[in-house]
């Protein structure tokens, strides 16, 4: 019920602001708005105020604003209140206002994610002390040692692993210089960015063996262990840090050969002891084999915490995040267009509803994030040059501008039918994919 109610409320709001964009632009240019509907027919409720009927319909997957003259059977270029009587620029203004409002709200919502506070691994806020160094790694080759604390990156002071990662993301030079505190003495080590990208850092921070969350498949959660439990022993062997968990689990499980890697494997049950508020709790857990990581997993994540940022920092981080998501969206659409993308990566109404439900349970920041992402996707999707969508109408306006006159009614009607068929195929495909994912 949480997923259903949240889905209707959040998607309904985002559809409302989209249609409100069209509505306000139409009113601003003097076009008569006949119907303002949230949802698709059949109609659930409707009431007429002035010349406009305001409607809530049963199918909460979209909405529409019906304008006088936007359909071919009521076009009247002589009527000032008719959509067909407006200039190309005015019609463009009406059409683009819906997606524009969605894009604007995405840029408003995303900074709120960082103001409310984002969830992150707790160790990222710890001092950047190297717990160990991997053999033949970038860290070892530049001379980092166990116990070194990174205090500056390219001259910029850092006080945590999070700040180290931030500074690494801002590097625009060919080399990276690290100032490290080694037993009270300051040392400087340098290496090339190219080597860092090729090999990875190779240093390992100390992460407490505290359960911070559960993955989608989680034998740990099924066993009754809880978030906040500290793992102290597995099969009687001491666990001092997070990486000890994986090491002990892999040692206790059968080896999976390359030829059998694609087969579903169930591991050997292990005894896990945890400390819960000073008391010892014991659970027997059977790890599962993950084909991607090629290892046995218990299905849990590291200890988490939330960090809130200042408004200015949140605006900067939110904008960067949206630019990244926008870039990834267009990259995916490009791959899908040339046949390299997969429908498995698309989410329909069912998957969106589940994701929204999960976000509501996790907290306000996750809700803001989902609202920003969905609003962004609605804006982008509606601008695609597909007949029926706003982008298709805008595309026809461009042709009209070049041609000097509107396209024929017959051609517009046929393209609308084609666009509707494409849209229905798309909706059926993603919904079917959602159902397969739920099986």
- Cα gap 41→34, rounded to integer Å: 15
The DSSP call for residue 391 is: H
- Strand, coil or helix: 188: strand
Q: Are 434 and 348 within 8 A, CB to CB?
A: yes
The residue from 19, 163, 273, 303 that is catalytic is 19
List the one residue out of 73, 68, 74 whose CA is nearest residue 53: 68
What's the maximum distance between 2 C-alpha atoms anywhere in the chain? 87
Beta bridge partners of 231: 274
Cα–Cα distance measured from residue 3 to residue 361, given in angstroms and rounded to the nearest whole number? 9
Q: What does the alpha-carbon distance between residue 286 and residue 413 come to, in Å, rounded to a whole number?
A: 60
Query: d(Cα 183, Cα 147) in Å, to the nearest integer?
Result: 8
**Phi and psi dihedrals of 124, rounded to 5?**
-65, -20
Does the active-site annotation cover 135? no
Cα 91 to Cα 328: distance, rounded to the nearest angstrom: 30
Q: Which residues are catalytic?
A: 19
């Amino acid at each position: 019920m949480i997923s259903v109610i949240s889905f209707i409320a959040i998607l309904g709001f985002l559809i409302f602001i989209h249609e409100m964009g069209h509505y306000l632009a139409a009113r601003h240019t003097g076009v008569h708005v006949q119907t303002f509907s949230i949802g698709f027919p059949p109609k659930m409720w409707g009431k007429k105020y002035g010349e406009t009927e305001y409607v809530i319909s049963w199918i909460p997957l979209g909405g529409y604003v019906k304008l006088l003259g936007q359909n071919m059977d009521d076009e009247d270029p002589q009527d000032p209140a008719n959509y067909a009587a407006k200039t190309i620029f005015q019609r463009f203004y009406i059409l683009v206002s819906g997606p524009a409002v969605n894009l604007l709200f995405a840029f408003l919502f995303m900074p709120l994610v960082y103001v409310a506070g984002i969830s992150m691994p707790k160790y990222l806020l710890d001092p950047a002390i190297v717990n160990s160094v991997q053999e033949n790694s970038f860290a070892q080759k530049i001379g980092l040692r166990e116990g070194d604390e990174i205090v500056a990156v390219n001259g910029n002071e850092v006080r945590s692993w999070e700040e180290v990662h931030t500074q690494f993301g801002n590097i625009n030079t060919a080399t990276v210089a690290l100032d490290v505190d080694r037993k009270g003495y300051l040392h400087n080590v340098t290496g090339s960015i190219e080597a860092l990208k090729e090999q990875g850092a190779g240093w390992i921070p100390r992460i407490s063996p505290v359960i911070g969350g559960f993955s989608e498949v989680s034998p740990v959660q099924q066993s009754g262990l809880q978030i906040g439990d500290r793992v102290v022993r597995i099969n009687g062997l001491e666990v001092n840090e997070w990486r000890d968990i994986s090491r002990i689990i892999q040692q206790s499980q059968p080896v999976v050969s390359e030829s059998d890697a694609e087969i579903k494997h169930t591991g050997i049950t292990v005894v896990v002891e945890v400390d819960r508020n000073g008391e010892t709790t014991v659970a027997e857990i059977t790890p599962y084999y993950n084909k991607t990581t090629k290892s046995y997993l218990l299905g849990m994540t590291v200890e988490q915490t939330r960090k809130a940022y200042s408004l200015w920092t949140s605006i900067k981080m939110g904008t960067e995040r949206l630019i990244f998501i926008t870039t990834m969206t267009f990259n995916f659409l490009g791959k899908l267009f040339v046949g390299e993308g997969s429908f498995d990566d698309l989410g329909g109404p069912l998957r969106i509803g589940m994701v929204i439900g999960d976000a509501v349970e996790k907290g306000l920041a996750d809700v803001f994030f989902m609202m920003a992402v969905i609003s962004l996707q609605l804006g982008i999707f509606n601008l695609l040059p597909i007949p029926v969508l706003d982008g298709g109408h805008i595309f026809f306006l461009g042709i009209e501008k070049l041609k000097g006159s509107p396209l024929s009614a017959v051609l517009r009607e046929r393209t609308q039918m084609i666009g509707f068929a494409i849209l229905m195929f798309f909706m059926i495909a993603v919904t079917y994919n959602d159902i397969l994912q739920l099986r």
